[in-house]
Amino acid sequence: MEKVFLYDTTLRDGSQAEGVSFSLEDKIRILQKLDEFHMDYVECGWPGANPKDTVLFERIKKMKLHHSKVVAFGATRRPNRKVKEDPQVENLVKAESPVVTIFGKSWDFHVTEALKTTLEENLSMVYETVEYLKRYVDEVIFDAEHFFDGFKHNPEYALAVLEAAIRGGADWVVLCDTNGGSLPHEVYEITKKVKEKFPQAKIGIHAHNDSDTAVANSLMAVLAGARQVHGTINGIGERTGNANLCSIIPNLQLKMGMQVVPEESLRKLTDLAHFVAEIANVPLPRNMPYVGESAFAHKAGVHASAVLKSSRTYEHVDPSVVGNRRKVTVSDLSGRSNVVYKLREMGIEVDERSPELIKLVEKIKDMEKEGYHFEAAEASFELLCKRHFGLVRNYFDLDAYRVLIAKRSTDNTPVSEATVRLKVGELMEHTASLGNGPVSALDRALRKALEEFYPSLKEVQLVDYKVRIVNESEGTSAKVRVLIESTDGKRRWGTVGVSENIIEASWIALTDSIVYKLMKDEEEGII
Amino acid sequence: MEKVFLYDTTLRDGSQAEGVSFSLEDKIRILQKLDEFHMDYVECGWPGANPKDTVLFERIKKMKLHHSKVVAFGATRRPNRKVKEDPQVENLVKAESPVVTIFGKSWDFHVTEALKTTLEENLSMVYETVEYLKRYVDEVIFDAEHFFDGFKHNPEYALAVLEAAIRGGADWVVLCDTNGGSLPHEVYEITKKVKEKFPQAKIGIHAHNDSDTAVANSLMAVLAGARQVHGTINGIGERTGNANLCSIIPNLQLKMGMQVVPEESLRKLTDLAHFVAEIANVPLPRNMPYVGESAFAHKAGVHASAVLKSSRTYEHVDPSVVGNRRKVTVSDLSGRSNVVYKLREMGIEVDERSPELIKLVEKIKDMEKEGYHFEAAEASFELLCKRHFGLVRNYFDLDAYRVLIAKRSTDNTPVSEATVRLKVGELMEHTASLGNGPVSALDRALRKALEEFYPSLKEVQLVDYKVRIVNESEGTSAKVRVLIESTDGKRRWGTVGVSENIIEASWIALTDSIVYKLMKDEEEGII
């Protein structure tokens, strides 16, 4: 099986999608997840181009990745300037990532009109920048911007640009369909011509989805000899998005006989897709191929039972291979085995047919119907399971909470005040606190009540807080899902709460976060 | 230019999508819209198979269509039965539509396992049913179910099934990728073999999107000789959907030199997509190629001004050709030229160097630093600009609001109560309301105070509510960004609020939504 290398640009191109904006912490979490997934290359940003990305690359230097190569993205040097005097190029070296990708123009029109320089000078810019960077980093990848449009207008020049990069020592030349206007047969033919012209070169493909064919364009390029595929998780990206890696990976691996990721990773594909959707706060379309909730849905009835009898003739692939599951109202088998698998991870061994397990699966399903989503809230899921098996101690009992928010026209900001009354053992604690908002007021009042009993709670910080309407057609009366991300310096965990009331949903996620911390400390003998 | 015929199955396959269910009136409206659009064939349902479809075909008999041929869908006769004694076939004749499509099995495995009959009998079923129907209707189309899977397993038999249909007099044989598992190169090669085998036959393609390549599969089939393309508007359909006609039409017509629909229709494509999305109550993904809201969106200052200068080099097609428009989104890279462009859209002409504009850009930048994001909140952006130029009337003044959320251990859900005190003109209104949560309580109290002065506010519904922490490293004390999406049945608009306090941020977005509605009504002379 031939290897095709994956190149993820969710953190750069993906963050260009309308409505998506990743925080620093979001980016770190996604990078870690992609590393676990065995993504070959992860493009993290453009160091120097914006201060956020510079900080990110500083953070990355201290991280240990196991499977992915971090890529810094940038451009060729500016026209009429020495490469070593170009601060933008210097920032790429300073990022200290093992791989650098630079883009350069390959459409003659853009060279003269956008760059305002000569065709010759552009070739020097490409050659010199690649050659210079190769002295400092392991791998240099050259992105030929507007390659397909350029090739259609002036094939000689487009090829000359690639040649300059190859002469400079580029490890890969990547053909970018920047406007996303190319169709599969064109991508195939043009990529083939490139491969014929440069039989030794390693070629990549970078497709955008403006023609609704980005996945197909990527596959056709691989058929023509490309061995690196750029894309994003769920295809997020500016305009109509980038090529969707969640579709490309299984197509290549399951249908085209290519080696892409370990089978283990493939089984985590659906999880990865949901994870990124949650972090990006962009709901995953239920009809998304392979990973969507409806991707293997069968309407109940005759068809469904036929599917169960000989699924291979009704499903293009086995859903479990990509970590998804068949959705047929009559069967919950796949659900159970998933839960057994998760329980085993927590150290709980239980038989698939035990009544306890069946009850737990029912409970999970009910909660999912209510709007719970556990992909980004593993801590709440662990608590749910361990509570079900009586493995979580009762650290405190709520008696009451109350939050007041008030603002007058003369105030700049509203006042938020919370009171909490709870029992720890036989002791009743009643505390009050102000906060910047209702959730922080509640959080403070809750900690005030608990910290004297459980001092390690002082280590806990909330690092992220996300809210999503579950059934958005009803507006503010619909259910609200709150995701909280906490850390105690060593661990990081996510918890979830669902309610019609945003304060109650926050409260559920808050208390889960605190109980999880206490349970983990106890499991490790700290308290 | 060669003609490619369009075959729409939104009303049949499209209605199989999870969450979609068309009423009789919905179907009539969509049929009329498709007729205006010059859709060649419109498949309306399976008469006899369900009573709703039977009534629909009765209604259709009384309608006058100008451009589309109505198609009744059904199956070949049952095994071991005479065709004229099969009531299912009889219902197709009774529908009196000019075209009938019947599907039959072309995968040997399904013939023996699902139909439980012999391969020979299946060929007779196909031949006899086509031959019989041809006596009564103008055109008979044969859908070869599971054709690509069948061809991969037993090409001789799959071709024999097509031959039976052709011998029976089928006007078209349509190759169906029923499981959606085929890839573009396979579809191309197999369609080409069919065309070689039956050079006189008219061939169609019917693709599903399970491999995320349904559009590409359809195009590749056309390249191999297919001249009828099946699909749905927006690609709605069961599992991952059908081939998306909204992408296929412009690809064929603008890029592959095929004659598909009049130019006039193409300009109505975006409108058609939104229309069907509204009727189906499935929001149109903003990143949908060609017709989505973001399909021609450009971020960033420098880039946006380059786009305005020479759009053809940054856009794969001119958005107006498909009835869409360019969208310059305001992001934190935004410069003056972006804002001038947006102001022009609002009908405000202002010079790029005017002090008023410079002040406005400063204000926008300050708000962006605070955490505001206007990409999904165009209404707040418009209010901000128009307020800056004194173009927004003061509809009310806030005096105070107060929200209380309280829960005791004996309560299932917390109580949320809001009070609002505000002035409309000289009148002071003081209202109170409960709600499912604090935001809905505030929303209700606010409307209670305003609706008697502005009755059109009763039309406003909140359809989405999103919350995001802006500076996540400080957890619950960080700033919160609330995005609200509202509709009044005609328009849809987004508003945004930022504060350390989630209730205050919601309040800002809520009041913006209401002021925007009042301003628009006033601009249109409604109030």
Domains and CATH numbers, chain B: 2-280 (3.20.20.70), 357-395+454-527 (3.30.160.340), 401-448 (3.30.160)
User: Which residue from A minimizes the CA distance to B290?
Assistant: A210
Q: How far apart are CA A333 and CA A308, in angstroms?
A: 11
Say whether residue B302 is in contact with chain A using an 8 A CB cutoff: no
Which of B325, B333, B318, B236 lies closest to B282 in space, CA to CA? B236
Interface test mutation site (partner A, options B282, B474, B502, B506, max chain A beta carbons within 10 A): B502
Q: How far apart are CA B88 and CA B280, in angstroms?
A: 28
- Do A44 and A297 touch, CB atoms closer than 8 A? no
Token reading at B412: 């299932």
Residues facing residue A119 across a β-bridge:
none
pLDDT at A330: 30
Which of A85-94, B363-372, B435-444, B494-503 is least confident?
B363-372
Q: How far apart are CA A47 and CA A43, in angstroms?
A: 11
Chain A residues whose beta carbon lies within 8 Å of the beta carbon of residue B438 = 405, 438, 501-503
The dihedral built from the CA positions of residue A369, A374, A375 and A381, taken in this order, carries a sign that is: negative
Say whether residue B366 is in contact with chain A using an 8 A CB cutoff: no
Which of A137-141, A278-282, B151-155, B380-384 is least confident?
A278-282
Give the pLDDT mean for B154-167.
98
pLDDT at B130: 98
Of A114, A235, A299, the CB nearest to B238: A299
pLDDT at A63: 94
pLDDT at A411: 87
Q: Where are the beta strands (DSSP E) in B358-455?
A: 397-408, 415-424, 427-435
Are A463 and B473 inside 8 Å of each other by CB?
A: yes
Average pLDDT over chain B, rounded to an integer: 91
User: Which residue from B minimizes the CA distance to A440?
Assistant: B476
Rg (CA), chain A: 26
Query: When comparing pLDDT for B116 and B334, which is higher?
Result: B116
* CA end-to-end span of chain B: 52
Are A295 and B240 inside 8 Å of each other by CB?
A: yes
Are A220 and B315 inside 8 Å of each other by CB?
A: no
Which of A59-63, A305-309, A495-499 is least confident?
A305-309
Render pLDDT for A97-155 as a digit per residue (tens, 0 to 9).
Answer: 999 999 999 999 999 988 899 999 999 999 999 999 999 999 999 999 999 999 999 99
Say whether residue A431 is in contact with chain B using an 8 A CB cutoff: no
* CA end-to-end span of chain A: 52
Q: What is the DSSP letter of A107?
A: S
Tokens 């409604």 map to which residue?
A: B526
Tokens 């349970």 map to which residue?
A: A519
Q: How far apart are CA B76 and CA A425, in angstroms?
A: 73
- Do B203 and B194 touch, CB atoms closer than 8 A? yes
Chain B residues whose beta carbon lies within 8 Å of the beta carbon of residue A115 = none
Chain B residues whose beta carbon lies within 8 Å of the beta carbon of residue A236 = 287
Phi-psi region of A334 (alpha: psi -120 to 50; beta: other; left: phi over 0): alpha
Give the pLDDT mean for B96-121.
95
Q: Is B441 exposed, middle or buried (0-12, 13-18, 19+ CB in 10 A)?
A: buried
Residues facing residue A274 across a β-bridge:
none
Render pLDDT for B446-490 as a digit per residue (tens, 0 to 9).
Answer: 999 999 999 999 999 887 787 877 764 445 557 888 988 888 988
Residues facing residue A402 across a β-bridge:
A419, B406
Which of A317-331, A475-489, B326-340, B436-450 is least confident?
B326-340
Tokens 């009803």 map to which residue?
A: A474
Of B439, B440, B463, the CB nearest to A472: B463
- Tell me which H or E stretch contains A270: helix A269-280
- Here the ipTM equals 0.77
Of B220, B397, B476, the CB nearest to A184: B220
The dihedral built from the CA positions of residue A280, A281, A287 and A290, taken in this order, carries a sign that is: positive
Give the pLDDT mean for B328-352.
77
Q: What is the DSSP letter of B47?
A: B
pLDDT at B268: 94
Of A109, A220, A502, the CB nearest to B502: A502
Say whether residue B256 is in contact with chain A using an 8 A CB cutoff: yes
Are A212 and B247 inside 8 Å of each other by CB?
A: yes
Q: How far apart are CA A91 and CA A87, in angstroms?
A: 6
Of A110, A185, A215, the CB nearest to B212: A215
Chain A residues whose beta carbon lies within 8 Å of the beta carbon of residue B466 = 281, 467-469
With cut-offs at 50, 70 and 90, classify the pLDDT of residue A308.
Answer: low
Chain A residues whose beta carbon lies within 8 Å of the beta carbon of residue B215 = 211-213, 216
Angle at A293 between CA A287 and CA A297, to 5 degrees: 80
**Selected residues 197-236 of chain A with any CB under 8 Å from a CB in chain B:** 209-213, 215-217, 219-220, 223, 235-236
Are A467 and B467 inside 8 Å of each other by CB?
A: yes
User: Which residue from A minimizes the CA distance to B292?
Assistant: A240
Q: How far is A289 from chain B (nearest CA, A)?
A: 5
User: Which residue from A minimizes the CA distance to B212?
Assistant: A289
Render pLDDT for B46-105 as a digit per residue (tens, 0 to 9).
Answer: 998 877 789 999 999 999 999 999 999 999 999 999 999 999 999 999 999 999 999 999
pLDDT at B471: 61
Are A212 and B251 inside 8 Å of each other by CB?
A: yes
Q: How far is B407 from chain A (nearest CA, A)?
A: 5
Q: For strands B203-207 and B228-231, give the pairing.
A: parallel
Angle at A323 between CA A10 and CA A337, to 5 degrees: 150
Average pLDDT over chain A, rounded to an integer: 91
Amino acid at B234: N
Q: How far apart are CA B435 and CA A504, in angstroms?
A: 13
Q: Report how many Cβ contacts below 8 Å link chain A to chain B.
A: 351
Q: Cα–Cα distances in Å, from A134 out to A72, A91, A165, A169, A265?
A: 13, 14, 11, 7, 31
pLDDT at B308: 66
Of B17, B181, B316, the CB nearest to A316: B181
Q: What percent of chain A has pLDDT over 90?
A: 73
With cut-offs at 50, 70 and 90, classify the pLDDT of residue A301.
Answer: very low
Token reading at B152: 């991969």
Render pLDDT for A190-205 as a digit per residue (tens, 0 to 9).
Answer: 999 999 999 999 999 9
Give the pLDDT mean for A257-268.
97
Q: How far is B410 from chain A (nearest CA, A)?
A: 8
Q: How far is A499 from chain B (nearest CA, A)?
A: 8
pLDDT at B98: 97
pLDDT above 60: residue A475: no
Are A114 and B223 inside 8 Å of each other by CB?
A: no
pLDDT above 50: residue A273: yes
Are B409 and A416 inside 8 Å of each other by CB?
A: no
**Selected residues 29-68 of chain B with any CB under 8 Å from a CB in chain A:** none
Q: How far is B476 from chain A (nearest CA, A)?
A: 5
**Selected residues 405-424 of chain A with any CB under 8 Å from a CB in chain B:** 405-409, 413-414, 416
Q: How far apart are CA A361 and CA A341, in angstroms?
A: 12
User: Which residue from B minimizes the CA distance to A296?
Assistant: B239
Q: Ranked by mean pLDDT, which of A126-130, A369-373, A495-499 comes out on top? A: A126-130
Interface test mutation site (partner A, options B106, B501, B514, max chain A beta carbons within 10 A): B501
Which of A230, A234, A240, A184 lies closest to B216 in space, CA to CA? A184
Render pLDDT for B264-298 as a digit per residue (tens, 0 to 9).
Answer: 999 999 989 988 987 786 778 989 999 998 999 88
Of A210, A216, A500, the CB nearest to B436: A500
Q: How far is A347 from chain B (nearest CA, A)?
A: 31
Rg (CA), chain B: 29
Q: How far is CA A54 from the centre of its chain?
A: 20
Amino acid at A467: V
Q: For strands A480-487 and A461-469, give the pairing.
A: antiparallel
Q: What is the DSSP letter of A234?
A: G
Which of A130-134, A519-523, B70-74, B243-247 is least confident?
A519-523
Which of A274-278, A426-430, B221-225, B251-255 is least confident?
A274-278
Q: How far is A297 from chain B (nearest CA, A)?
A: 6
Chain A residues whose beta carbon lies within 8 Å of the beta carbon of residue B307 = none
pLDDT above 80: residue B338: no
Of B255, B292, B438, the CB nearest to A240: B292
With cut-offs at 50, 70 and 90, classify the pLDDT of residue A328.
Answer: low
pLDDT at B464: 77
Give the pLDDT mean for B103-127.
95
Q: What is the DSSP letter of B144?
A: E
Q: How far apart are CA A172 and CA A202, in angstroms?
A: 5
Chain A residues whose beta carbon lies within 8 Å of the beta carbon of residue B313 = 107, 109-110, 113-114, 146, 149, 179
Of A18, A256, A288, the CB nearest to B329: A18
pLDDT at B393: 93
Say whether residue B242 is in contact with chain A using an 8 A CB cutoff: no
Which of A129, A122, A127 lies closest to A146 in space, CA to CA? A122
